Amino acid sequence: MKRLTENKIVLVVRRSRLDDLIIRHNTFEQAHFCVSQTGADFSDYELEDKIYKRAIRTTEQILHSLGRVQILNRDFLPNFIFGEEDTVIVLGQDGLVANTMKYLNRQPVIGVNPDPERYDGILLPFRVKNLTEVIKAHFAKKMQMQNVTMAEVLLSDGQKLYAVNDFFIGAKSHVSARYEISHCGKKEFQSSSGIIISTGLGSTGWLKSVFAGAGGILQSLTGENPFPLNFEHMTPDSRFLFYSVREPFPGNKSGTSIVFGKVDKKNKLMITSGMSENGVIFSDGIEEDFLTFNSGTIATISVSQKAGNLVKA
């Protein structure tokens, strides 16, 4: 089959849960023994791995018939240099799409669901079996694109991190995070379990669970639940963010008056760390890829000028 493009097609994949177990326990047999000892169904890990590996092989064969292909494991995303004309295929769960997008500069992303019976695939609208038609339509410029707003955190030392879904700012362990929060002209020292800052794309994830928890507590106490689960109808291209403080503690030196708000072009969010150690900022659930956030460091959170480019079904 004639190649559709001489530009590179990058296929982003990740290890399966079975792969992670084998790495942790050194051998397949030891992994099988440890999981079985807990009463868990090891065959589910094997089935998931089998389906995913088969999807990778099939996807790779399809892509090689259409253009130049490079396989990229998620672990190497932070150090990989994408070409301006690359097309990126993400084969995995929704989180892999988000984790990939923040390392791109508007290169189009095609999310492919390798296991529709297992994954909801909100960001994975395509199937492996339809990939040839999707790629052809994409290169023929017949596919629509979804603009995806990102969040950005800039530290006072110049370090920067992007988020497609959300940021977490707090302590690495389960101890309280201590910091000063500043928003819309108000400042307050707080002690809490950390702060979540969500984009429109991420509003169906961590932020939604925050609303669900707060609403459930109020409903138990008052019989009413005023929290909508789709707050202000956020969409992936909404040019604003929401932040929520988790479990703020009302103490002699810590307040609870700034616990939720909107971050937009006019109103950025500033957090000054009061943690002597173990302060962190990470994005999209990837705790290993974090910025150190200890005493005196100032983090400014805003809507990023950088945006994602997701191919729509």
User: Residue 85 sits in a domain of what CATH number?
Assistant: 3.40.50
Torsional sign, CA 237, 241, 242, 244: positive
> pLDDT by residue (tens digit) across 114-135?
999 998 888 899 999 999 999 9
Report pLDDT digits (tens) over 137-162.
999 899 999 999 999 999 999 999 99
Residue 310 placed within a domain: no
Tokens of 131: 């990939």
Which phi-psi region, left, alpha or beta, contains residue 255 (left: φ > 0; alpha: ψ -120 to 50)?
Answer: beta
Nearest to 261 by CA among 175, 172, 197, 189: 197
198 and 54 both lie in a single domain: no
Note whether 47 and 77 are same-domain residues: yes
Q: Which amino acid is at 71?
A: I
CA distances from 71 to 43, 59, 144, 189, 275 (A): 27, 11, 25, 47, 40
- How many domains does the chain divide into? 2
- For residue 286, being part of any structural domain is answered with yes
Q: Would you state the pLDDT for residue 279? A: 96
Is residue 111 domain-shared with residue 170, that is, in the same domain?
A: no
Asked, for residue 122, whether it belongs to a domain, the answer is yes
Query: In the structure, what pLDDT confidence band is assigned to residue 226 with cuts at 50, 70 and 90?
Result: low
Give the model confidence (pLDDT) of 269-301 as tens digits: 999 999 999 999 999 888 888 999 999 999 999
Q: 295 and 178 in one domain? A: yes
Q: Judge if 128 and 253 occupy the same domain.
A: no
Average pLDDT taken over every residue of the chain: 91
Does residue 34 sit within a domain?
yes
Residue 21 predicted with pLDDT over 70:
yes
- The answer, yes or no, to whether residue 230 has pLDDT greater than 70, is no
Query: Across residues 180-208, what is the average pLDDT?
Result: 92
Judge residue 12's burial from the number of C-beta atoms within 10 Å of its C-beta, 0-12 exposed, 13-18 middle, 19 or more buried. Answer: buried
Among 95, 117, 143, residue at a domain's last position: 143
| 156/299 same-domain check | yes
Domain boundary among 143, 167, 182: 143
Residue 64 lies in a domain: yes
pTM of the model: 0.84
Q: Are residues 123 and 154 in the same domain?
A: no
H or E element that contains 101: helix 94-101
Note whether 48 and 133 are same-domain residues: yes
Residue 3 lies in a domain: no
In a domain, 313, yes or no: no
Tell me the residue range of the domain where 181 lies. 149-305
* Same domain (yes/no): 262, 171: yes
- In which band, very low, low, confident or very high, does the pLDDT at 59 lie, cut at 50, 70 and 90? very high
The verdict on residue 2 lying in a domain is: no
Q: 90, 123, 143: which is the final residue of a domain?
A: 143
39 vs 170, more confident: 170
**pLDDT tops 60 at residue 231:** no
Regarding whether 295 and 202 lie in a shared domain, the answer is: yes
Q: Are residues 107 and 166 in the same domain?
A: no
Helix (H/G/I), strand (E/B), else coil: 312: coil
Q: What is the CATH number of the domain that holds 166?
A: 2.60.200.30
Q: Is residue 198 domain-shared with residue 216, that is, in the same domain? A: yes
